[in-house]
Structure 1
């Protein structure tokens, strides 16, 4: 089982997220990071998503698309491709914990992907709670 991943975002966020994830998970193959920039239209981004899907689906069993914002143009580009029959699993809320987890869990089955991502998502945000030490205590983090 192999998994291809499409990242789509406003600006360079998807590319930067992939770069950050690769610092922790190593260089990755079968990942396309797409950026909606001021010089691109929704149609341009949709074509990039379709091209990425064509490339990945030719050699991967599962294609997952992660977009930054629900209802945004990257979301719309992925949704249009899915409506045209491109068989990918789509999510919004692209963040580094989910991306790293997916990169390290690429042998997961299509049936397990949604539950797995939702589980990681629930854990990907939590408050930082610290307590100041007494003046005579050293702080170790």
Structure 2
């Protein structure tokens, strides 16, 4: 069975990344969101995540959090002690969520490692190709 996916972020980043992924790949029935609001703090964010994890039960789950060391990621890491089937990956980006939703990997550790690689590969400085003067850009 494919692992569940939880996106966690400060503010609406997780919600909007979820919406953008749905625009590209369609319904994400296997994913949920924890959007930390300023007033949530640590305990409010823990309560939001705990509600999802309790509902999901003993299912393998990957959390993709926005920022290593930030409250959403720290809350996810703390939950790993209670949920041995839980894996946390930081650096939330659209490429990771798209791949998580279309990947056929069912092993939670393999999927977490794969998403880490995808996330790293998605970050790249884009440079204009060098063109001869005669080539130019086509319109």
TM-score range, shorter chain: 0.7 to 0.9
Q: Which residue of 2 aligns with 1:19?
A: 19
Q: Which residue of 1 aligns with 2:64?
A: 66
Deviation per CA, 1:16-49: give whole Å up to 9, x if none: 0000111111011121111111221211111111
Q: Which residue of 1 aligns with 2:114?
A: 116
Unaligned runs of 5+ in 1: none
Change beyond 3 A, Cα 1:111–1:10: closer
CA RMSD of superposed structures (Å): 2.2
Q: Does 1:8 align with 2:12?
A: no
CA distance in 2, matches of 1:40, 1:115: 30
Q: Which residue of 1 aligns with 2:123?
A: 125
CA distance in 1, matches of 2:138, 2:50: 49
Q: Which residue of 1 aligns with 2:93?
A: 95
CA distance in 2, matches of 1:92, 1:73: 12
Change beyond 3 A, Cα 1:87–1:109: closer
CA distance in 1, matches of 2:44, 2:81: 17
Deviation per CA, 1:52-71: give whole Å up to 9, x if none: 1122336xx42100111111
Report SS of the residue matched to 1:103.
helix
Aligned length: 139
